[in-house]
Amino acid sequence: MPATLRHPGTVLTDHVFPVPLDHDRPDGEQIEVYAREVVAAGREREELPWLLFLQGGPGSGSPRPVGQADWLAAALRHYRVLLLDQRGTGRSTPANRQSLAARGTPEQQAAYLAHFRADSIVRDAEVVRERLLGGDGRWSTLGQSFGGFCTLAYLSRAPHALREAFVTGGLPGLRVSADDVYRAAYPRVAAKNAAHYARYPQDVEAVRRIAAYLAEHEVRLPDGSPLTVQRFQYLGMLLGQHSGSHVLHYLLEGAWIRGASGPELSDAFLAGVYAQVSLAANPLFAVVHEAAYAQRSVSTQGTGWAAQRLRGEFPAFDAERALEGGEPVLFSGEMIYPWMFDLDPALVPLAEAAHLLAERGDWPDLYDTERLAANEVPVYAAVYHDDMYVDRDHSLATARAVPHVRTWVTSAWEHDALRVSRGTVLERLIGMARGEV
């Protein structure tokens, strides 16, 4: 019997499902995916429609709700919600340095990790749907960020399973390469840097001072790993979030302390940096991030560490050049770089497998453009005008290419609006689906 837990206002039920590692070999190795069913207290026995939540990432488990927090309150007014821990995350069979060490060589690890993209996640969801709803049952989906990528993969593979789909900040480009993604991303990140420095002009010199110090000194984070200038620049991941610029500013405020030999970076600052730059909690984010854009029909060259290759086209992100020229040091954004696998202890053992994935050129297509061109499933998508993580123009091109996609383009929110808007964004999309907006 599934375990059930009661929280204030909700009833939570655990589900675990065996699925094939490789869905093309259903009799081969099996892994587990975990999902948490959430229903409003008092409505457990109602025949509510299901809403499958597809988390952002890749490589992040679903939210761990306490009561009807964030967007969940809006969802539970209309649905029975299923929070899926995508394969490799949360309570599903893990995929990290510890578990992958048992899989053998880097080649064997890479072959295993190749099954952790959106196409496999969708096929897992289909196993779950058939178990919970039956073969003819249909459910709705809510895809946040990478969850929107999974949504388009779902529409490509099993549209018959979907009643409707909601997407928040996650309509992917259907025919764009990893190079296209990062060539569009760097200018957006530069704009977020400019906005941050306009809001907090004092941070220009604060960041330059920290970067100059890191260039001249060996500094280590609480886990003993090095804090380099480029790793410090990775704090720019914050700049695409609703309050991220403020979080970054307050972190910088506490950077310095006077030690025995003079000013040095404080333990509190280094702990804060570690919390932002360590990928120990979600190593899959780094390992399969660029693979999330790889499709053989778009490019057979592999991603080849696209973010690193393309960085040279945007010299403003060169911290050494900025320091020498008296210019602001720019933070980077949602980019994965090969040096991360040399510095982060959670990633170092996976370096060879990650390089093999970056070199792979025969990735299956994620999106069936012919099937999507005939789409009949209603899709309601929030597109954020200044989204740092997902390109607005790529999203709108997809909306034009796929029938029955209705977009709400807004500059009122950032990429994390689903979480921070207290249900406002989701209610807007549900209202669109109900003909109320």
C-alpha–C-alpha distance, residues 57 and 118, integer Å: 10
The enclosing domain of 137 has a CATH number of 3.40.50.1820
**pLDDT at residue 122, rounded to an integer:** 98
140 with 228, same domain: the answer is: no
pLDDT digits (tens, 9 = 90+) for 125-179: 999 999 999 999 999 999 999 999 999 999 999 999 999 999 999 999 999 999 9
Which whole number is the average pLDDT over 44-59? 96
C-alpha–C-alpha distance, residues 383 and 265, integer Å: 39
Closest CA to 385 of 358, 355, 408, 352: 408
270 contact partners, CB below 8 Å, separation of at least 6: 219, 220, 221, 222, 227
Number of H helices, E strands in the chain: 19, 11
Domain boundary among 299, 329, 359: 359
Active site residue 415: yes
16 with 105, same domain: the answer is: yes
297 with 209, same domain: the answer is: yes
Question: Is the pLDDT confidence value at 59 over 70?
Answer: yes
196 with 161, same domain: the answer is: no
Confidence bin at 370 (pLDDT 50/70/90): very high
Confidence bin at 358 (pLDDT 50/70/90): very high
Which whole number is the average pLDDT over 371-394? 98
355 with 405, same domain: the answer is: no
Number of structural domains the chain divides into: 2
C-alpha–C-alpha distance, residues 121 and 139, integer Å: 16
**Is-contact 50 139, C-beta < 8 A?**
yes
**Is-contact 336 342, C-beta < 8 A?**
no
423 with 274, same domain: the answer is: no
Whole-model pTM over 0.85:
yes
**pLDDT at residue 328, rounded to an integer:** 98
C-alpha–C-alpha distance, residues 88 and 33, integer Å: 8
Look at the alpha carbons of 35, 91, 112, 297 in this order and tell me if their dihedral is positive or negative.
positive
Confidence bin at 2 (pLDDT 50/70/90): confident
C-alpha–C-alpha distance, residues 112 and 425, integer Å: 37
**pLDDT at residue 376, rounded to an integer:** 98
pLDDT digits (tens, 9 = 90+) for 298-329: 999 999 999 999 999 999 999 999 999 999 99
C-alpha–C-alpha distance, residues 394 and 392, integer Å: 5
In angstroms, the first-to-last Cα distance of the chain is 42
Residue 329 phi/psi, 5° resolution? -85, 120
115 with 253, same domain: the answer is: no
**CA dist 60 to 6, 78, 116, 370, Å?**
24, 25, 12, 30
Confidence bin at 67 (pLDDT 50/70/90): confident
List 145, 225, 278, 421, catalytic entry: 145
pLDDT digits (tens, 9 = 90+) for 189-242: 999 999 999 999 999 999 999 999 999 999 999 999 999 999 999 999 999 999
128 contact partners, CB below 8 Å, separation of at least 6: 15, 17, 33, 35, 52, 82, 84
Domain boundary among 359, 385, 419: 359
Q: Which two tokens stand for residue 37?
A: 């069913």
DSSP annotation of 238:
G
- Between strands 405-410 and 379-384, the pairing is parallel
Average pLDDT, the chain: 97
112 with 164, same domain: the answer is: yes
* Cα 3 off chain centre by: 29
97 with 170, same domain: the answer is: yes
C-alpha–C-alpha distance, residues 437 and 433, integer Å: 8
C-alpha–C-alpha distance, residues 170 and 389, integer Å: 9
One-letter amino acid at 46 equals: E
Q: Which two tokens stand for residue 47?
A: 């025949």
One-letter amino acid at 108 equals: Q
C-alpha–C-alpha distance, residues 149 and 198, integer Å: 33
pLDDT digits (tens, 9 = 90+) for 323-351: 999 999 999 999 999 999 999 999 999 99
One-letter amino acid at 181 equals: V
Three-state SS letters, 38-62: EEECCCCCCCCCEEEEECCCCCCCC
Which residue's structure tokens are 């941050």? 196
C-alpha–C-alpha distance, residues 95 and 190, integer Å: 33
Parent domain of 303: 178-359
**Is-contact 178 293, C-beta < 8 A?**
yes
266 with 287, same domain: the answer is: yes
**Ordered alpha helix ranges (H), 57-201:** 72-76, 97-100, 106-113, 118-133, 146-157, 178-199
Which residue's structure tokens are 């790529």? 394
User: Helix, strand, or coil here: 209?
Assistant: helix
How many CB atoms are located within 10 Å of the residue 358 CB?
Answer: 21
266 with 342, same domain: the answer is: yes
* Cα 384 off chain centre by: 16
Domain boundary among 359, 380, 410: 359
Q: Cis (ω within 30 of 0) for the bond into 58?
A: yes
**pLDDT at residue 437, rounded to an integer:** 82
C-alpha–C-alpha distance, residues 375 and 147, integer Å: 18
Closest CA to 269 of 220, 313, 225: 220
List 62, 415, 416, 421, catalytic entry: 415
Confidence bin at 1 (pLDDT 50/70/90): low
Question: Is the pLDDT confidence value at 399 over 80?
Answer: yes
User: Helix, strand, or coil here: 310?
Assistant: helix
33 with 90, same domain: the answer is: yes
C-alpha–C-alpha distance, residues 112 and 288, integer Å: 11
